[in-house]
Amino acid sequence: MSEEPRVSVLEEDASSVKVRITGIPIQYANTLRRFMIAEVPTLAIDSVAILENTSPIYDEVLAHRLGLIPLRADPYKYSGDCGGSPCQVSLVLDAQAGDEPRVVLSKDLVSEDPDVKPVSPDIPIAKLAPGQRIKLEAYARVGRGKEHAKWQPVAVSVLKPYPHIEVLNPNAECAAAAAAACLPGVLRYSKDALRVRGEHRCRLCMDCVKACPDGVKVEERDDDHIIYVESVGAIEPKRIIYMAARELSAQLEELSRQLEALEL
């Protein structure tokens, strides 16, 4: 096993990231993955004061729908000590249909903190018939996915072994068959030789090894992993991994402090 854990970004876009983590056992990597789902704090609407609702949607269903709108915000601003005031953000909704039906969207929520807002302005909340109205005040607070899925920052959080591909014989007779059995972008057979193009895209299906056992070898190692994270939009994907490590570290420090107090 490597001495120092190492992290590198393999692929990244606005909503997802794929990172390679080397030097930690799979149990630690899986703990990090689980912390991304259950322990990273986010803000979500948790209570709603309905002042008027003449829409066909029941108050409870409306409150539930509001809770599921991901909010972009810095959760640490609203956790811990908020200087005596409640650690919450209020978002007001006052929407009425005129002579035409109207769809109430997430952009109709007006937040008291401009840094706390829905990740998309176009999430439908309700459809109003002419003359119907919804007026409410919603309160968002910090929570964690272990309490309710509405606080989960991730839509996907996956752990898999990093694939190590070794071309044993690039000119083997079956080398072309190995490339043909593979996904696009992983192996390539050209100029009579087999080459590795994108090792991290390999799905460890072993079809290439079945097609050409003498030409290619694929293996996984105990301390080399890929974590793929897809954010719901509330927090940047790379930051979710960092926050999971931060939360894990804080819990371990607390455990250590309590064990120390036992004077073991």
Of the listed pieces 16-24, 60-68, 119-127, 204-212, which binds ligand SF4 according to CB under 6 A? Answer: 204-212
**Interface pick for ligand SF4 out of 29, 177, 187, 241 (rule CB under 6 A):** 187
In sequence order, which residues have a C-beta less than 8 Å from that of residue 73 and are 6 or more positions away? 42, 43, 89, 113, 115, 116, 117, 140, 234
Say whether residue 182 binds ligand SF4 (CB under 6 A). Answer: yes
Secondary structure (DSSP) of 44-63: EEEEEEEEEE-SSS-HHHHH
Say whether residue 66 binds ligand SF4 (CB under 6 A). Answer: no
Q: What is the separation of C-alpha 151 from the centre of its chain, rounded to a whole number of angstroms?
A: 11
Query: Taking CB under 6 A as the criterion, which residues in 16-45 touch ligand SF4?
Result: none
Q: Is 118 helix (H, G, I), strand (E, B) or coil?
A: strand
Q: Look-up: residue for tokens 């650690």?
A: 87
String of contacts with ligand SF4 for each residue 208-237, x by CB under 6 A:
x---------x-------------------
Say whether residue 165 binds ligand SF4 (CB under 6 A). Answer: yes
Say whether residue 204 binds ligand SF4 (CB under 6 A). Answer: yes
Secondary structure (DSSP) of 229-255: EEE-SSS-HHHHHHHHHHHHHHHHHHH
CB 226 → ligand SF4: shortest distance, Å?
13
Q: Look-up: residue for tokens 């991730």?
A: 154
**24/218 with CB nearer ligand SF4:** 218
CB 202 → ligand SF4: shortest distance, Å?
3
Q: Look-up: residue for tokens 């209570």?
A: 47
What sign results for the dihedral spanned by CA atoms 81, 82, 84, 88? negative
Say whether residue 175 binds ligand SF4 (CB under 6 A). Answer: no
String of contacts with ligand SF4 for each residue 122-161, x by CB under 6 A:
----------------------------------------
**Size (the chain), residues:** 264
CB 168 → ligand SF4: shortest distance, Å?
13
Please give the residue ranges that form the binding site for ligand SF4 (CB under 6 A): 163, 165, 181-183, 186-187, 202-208, 218
